[in-house]
């Protein structure tokens, strides 16, 4: 009702994002605004850039967050690194390469795709062979695919791309802050992410980092980027020393992101990755105890976004409604070729906690009329 202050229901957010947010991040958002041209605010941007370099695993000078959600990061990577006729090679094994392809289509790019069923990943040799054969200007892959739960190793793709002088765009929306991304070690030229998954801030910003080579290509480009709002050259001038006005920065979201990144630093990435891996392992163990199996084969699974296959005949929607209404737990289902076949369970950032794993498994035991899941998970924790 419009007469009421909005009181959200209490939710345990275990879907593909947004994830839970630490109270310290909420506290940061309640800090009073200052202006986007205030010298003090430039310090907030600087801190954010330094902390983003840490989680991205990069020394890239150009490391910022663009003023939109994760998809704005994807669009920024598209519009700034493609001109009419640029040949783009896409590794297509889920929903987000398709979205990327659609963005590219709107930019009149020439797209070639290497397709695999949703949930599979590309081997080093076949990936290198594809890139070597196509000799594109830009290669795109999804490091952590939110629609399937699969992890795509980056190194072989980047090596092959660099051998033919191509730039590599890596979608790290569901890995950054939860699993190693290692931008510099892998050689990803353009990596972007969102704030609302493993970083533990609300949605609203898209971190992005560019290698020296990507920066050089961007600065040398002749035609204007079709987007003014996501033109990284202009945004760079605002973040840089001239602080030239571009847009009114979402101040509050930067307060939130800075604090969420500080939590990453304080926990240390090493401990954070270990936490995500442990909770993933415990969850998988519980799922298997229920007689279910994971959609993605072992070794290619994300720790962050887990995709158990539903039992035959299980009504996906009814199960999720019951989880939401009786247990206050949000998980999402599959879509596209995986509609009705999987659950998408995010154990990311502040949502990656033993207590939530146990609660969800216990709720699944109740809903599916099975047992043993909690016990199996507990045995992982007690190892």
Nearer to a copy of itself, 19 or 211 (CB): 19
Whose CA is closest to 194, among 185, 204, 186, 184?
204
Q: Are 344 and 328 a contacting pair, CB within 8 Å?
A: no
Contact indicator for 234, 80 with CB cutoff of 8 Å? no
Tokens of 17: 């994002």
Dihedral of the CA atoms 177, 180, 181, 186 (nearest 10)?
Answer: 160
The nearer residue to a copy of itself, 15 or 57, going by C-beta atoms, is 15
Q: Is the peptide bond before 283 cis (omega within 30 degrees of 0)?
A: no
DSSP structure string for 307-332: -BBPPTT--HHHHHHHHHHHH-EE-E
Smallest gap from residue 40 Cβ to a copy of itself (A):
6
Closer to a copy of itself by Cβ: residue 249 or 279: 249
DSSP 88: E
Q: Closest CB to a copy of itself among 87 and 262? A: 262
Task: Kindly state the smallest distance separating residue 7's Cβ from a copy of itself, in Å.
Answer: 7
Q: Please, are residues 112 and 88 in contact by the beta-carbon 8 Å criterion?
A: yes
Give 139 or 253: the residue with its C-beta nearer to a copy of itself.
253
Least separation in angstroms between residue 154's CB and a copy of itself is: 23
- Give the shortest CB-211-to-a copy of itself separation in angstroms: 23
The least CB distance from residue 278 to a copy of itself, in Å, is 24
């Amino acid at each position: 009702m419009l007469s009421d202050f909005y009181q959200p229901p209490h939710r345990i957010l275990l879907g593909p994002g947004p994830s839970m947010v630490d109270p310290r991040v909420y506290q940061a958002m309640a800090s009073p605004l200052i202006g986007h041209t205030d010298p003090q605010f430039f310090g907030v941007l600087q801190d954010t850039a330094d902390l983003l370099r840490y989680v991205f695993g990069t020394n890239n000078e150009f490391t910022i967050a663009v003023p939109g959600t994760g998809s704005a990061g994807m669009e920024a990577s598209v519009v700034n690194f493609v001109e009419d006729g640029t040949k783009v090679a896409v590794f297509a094994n889920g929903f987000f390469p398709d979205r990327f392809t659609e963005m590219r289509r709107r930019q009149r790019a020439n797209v070639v795709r290497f397709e695999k069923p949703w949930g599979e990943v590309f081997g080093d040799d076949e990936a290198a062979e594809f890139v070597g054969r196509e000799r594109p200007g830009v290669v795109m892959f999804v490091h952590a695919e939110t629609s399937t739960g699969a992890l795509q190793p980056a190194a072989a793709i980047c090596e092959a791309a660099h051998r033919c002088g191509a730039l590599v765009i890596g979608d790290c929306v569901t890995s950054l802050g939860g699993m190693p991304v290692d931008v510099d070690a892998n050689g990803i030229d353009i990596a972007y992410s969102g704030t609302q998954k493993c970083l533990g801030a609300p949605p609203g910003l898209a971190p992005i980092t560019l290698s020296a080579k990507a920066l050089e290509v961007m600065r040398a480009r002749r035609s204007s980027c079709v987007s003014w709002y996501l033109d990284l050259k202009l945004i760079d001038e605002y973040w840089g020393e001239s602080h030239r006005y571009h847009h009114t920065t979402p101040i509050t979201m930067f307060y939130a992101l800075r604090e969420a990144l500080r939590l990453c630093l304080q926990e240390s990435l090493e401990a954070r990755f270990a936490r995500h891996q442990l909770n993933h392992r415990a969850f998988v163990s519980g799922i298997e105890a229920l007689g279910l199996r994971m959609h993605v084969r072992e070794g290619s699974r994300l720790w962050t976004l887990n995709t158990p296959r539903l039992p035959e005949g299980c009504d996906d929607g009814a199960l999720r409604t019951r989880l939401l209404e009786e247990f206050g737990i949000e998980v999402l289902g599959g879509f596209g070729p995986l509609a009705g076949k999987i659950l998408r369970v995010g154990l990311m950032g502040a949502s990656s906690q033993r207590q939530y794993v146990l609660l969800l498994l216990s709720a699944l035991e109740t809903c599916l009329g099975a047992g043993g899941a909690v016990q199996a998970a507990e045995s992982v924790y007690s190892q």
